[in-house]
Structures are given as structure tokens and as C-alpha cells.
Amino acid sequence: MMFRTRFAPSPTGYLHLGHAYSACLAHDMAKAQGGEMLLRIEDTDAGRCRPEYETAILEDLRWLGLDWPEPVRRQSEHLASYASALDKLSALGLTYPCRCTRGDIRAALSAPQEGAGTPDIGPDGPVYPGTCRGRSMAEAQPGNAIRLDMGRALALVAGRAPGFTENGPLHAGRHALDPQALLTGTGDVVLARRDIGTAAYHLAVVVDDVDQGITEVVRGVDLFAATPLHVLLQTLLELPTPSYWHHDLIRDENGKRLAKRDDARAIRRYRAEGVSPAELREMVGLPPP
């Protein structure tokens, strides 16, 4: 099978040094294996995504010397695929509508409860306390979020021993899913967001990686904790699991990971200052192309 990976930015800002590292690493790995790196624009959040950022992303990546097969996949053009994955999970009885606001969740988590400590932090923030769990999909109202019932999902895959292979140096090896960690550390995640009215990242990424024929997901180690959830969704949807390579993150001089707001480290800023692509690669510790 041909090695195929992807770089999947959201057009919510300019790419910075951390993106340059991730994209070049994925591209280098693909080329070294005679494979390819696909590009995917994660633009389901219409309120935050801007066409000018997408144009800038393509321009910066080309300037870095990267190439990818056309057409570029845009998530906003595949909403029906995400809806159908969500329908499958619902048909399995694994979803419920949630009307909690962020404020409701905060209040539920801070209500004094016997034996309760600090809430666990999952891939999307504090683990959902389960207020709406048990509501039926027939009660879903426009504007509700749709959540995964993690307990039911785990019961359904029990015995199937899902897991994934990590090839990156930070966590290399075979990782079996840990049901307890998923239950208490990840919990009932949102599969469809109330604010954008379509699939949340975790569901979209699983559908996209299969549709794009990705064999190895190369991405930042900040998403390593979300990978068991992605593998669980693949298992529930009877989709293949790719292998993974999570890389370290580029940090600023204070050890903080770079953010999109951090314009000082935007690729286009270095470009404007006359830095060459090879010099930029060197700054993030990559050899010349």
C-alpha cells in the first residue's frame, strides 16, 4: 500500500513555525517512502474560517517547496459524509442530544458532590458530567449538540480489542484502548456541534482519513490523547485504523507552544524578512529538502 499522509490545517489564521515543521515532516516522510502528502482544509467552523487564510496557507506551503495531489479536500464540501457517520452511530444507539451550554457544564462540574475531585480534562476540555445522557435522539431540537454515550460505545466494542500502532519516537509501540481512561478521561464527547451545526473535529477527522486513504497520520503530539477516541470511532463505524506518528511541538523561548495568534512566528513574516525556505526548515530542526 502506498504511504499516504496528510496535513490538515484550519484556515483560522496564518501558519506559523509549528505548522511548517508538521507539514514539512509529513511531506519529507511521504517522499522518503515514495508516497504522498495530501492537504485537507478543516473549515467546518464557518464563523472562524476565512478564505484569505486558506489562500495564505496554500501560498506558504508552496513557498516551503511542498506539493500535494489536487483537488485539495475541504471539509465544508463533505458535510453529508459526516452526517451519515453520525446517523450510523445514532442507529447503534450511541448518541444523545445535549442542550447544555458551557455555563451549564461549568455549573454542574462545580456543584459540590460527595467524593468528587477536580474534573478530568479530556481532549475538548473538562469531561462532560453526563447531564443529558439518556435523552433520546427523538427529543433532539435544532441547536442541540449531539454527544457520544461513551459507556455504551465501549460496551459495544468490548471483545474487539481495538488499538493502534504509534510509529513516532515519543510514544512508539502498540497501544490498546484503555476503556477506563476513555470513560473517565475522555467521556461523552461532542460529535456534532451546536454552534456550527455540523460534525465536530473528532468525527470529521475519522471520516476524512478513511475517505482520503490515509495510511499514516502525522500530526502534533497534542493530539496523541485524542487518538484512542479516533480509534474507537473507527471501530464503531467499521472503518480501518491507520498508523500514527505524533511529533513533538515547536515551542517559543518560554516553552509555550505556538498559537495562531502568535503572528510573530508566522511563516509569512519570515518570508517578508527574506528568510529562505531552507533557513526556515533549519530553524525547526529539519534538514534541507
Binding-site ranges for ligand GLU (CB under 6 A): 8-10, 42, 205, 219, 223
CB 141 to ligand GLU: min, Å: 29
Q: Which is nearer to ligand GLU, 140 or 189 (CB)?
A: 189
Contact between 236 and 156 (Cβ < 8 Å): yes
Q: Which is nearer to ligand GLU, 158 or 170 (CB)?
A: 170
For 55, phi and psi rounded to 5 degrees? -60, -45
CB 74 to ligand GLU: min, Å: 12
C-alpha cell at 130: 453526563
CB 203 to ligand GLU: min, Å: 12
Q: Which is nearer to ligand GLU, 131 or 165 (CB)?
A: 165
Q: Which is nearer to ligand GLU, 109 or 196 (CB)?
A: 196
**Count of alpha carbons within 13 Å of 29, Cβ hemisphere only?**
23
Torsion angle defined by CA atoms of residues 195, 233, 239 and 54, in that order, rounded to the nearest 10 degrees: 30
Which residues touch 182 (CB under 8 Å, ≥6 apart)?
A: 150, 154, 228, 229, 232
CA distances, 14 to each of 17, 38, 49, 132, 260 (Å): 10, 19, 11, 37, 6
CB 205 to ligand GLU: min, Å: 5
Longest dimension (CA), the chain: 60
CB 9 to ligand GLU: min, Å: 5
**Looking at the DSSP assignment, which residues form a beta bridge with residue 148?**
95
Looking at beta carbons, which residue is closest to ligand GLU?
219
CB 219 to ligand GLU: min, Å: 4
Q: Which is nearer to ligand GLU, 8 or 233 (CB)?
A: 8
Q: Which is nearer to ligand GLU, 68 or 96 (CB)?
A: 68
> The cell 427529543 sits on which residue?
139
Count of other CB atoms within 10 angstroms of residue 137: 15
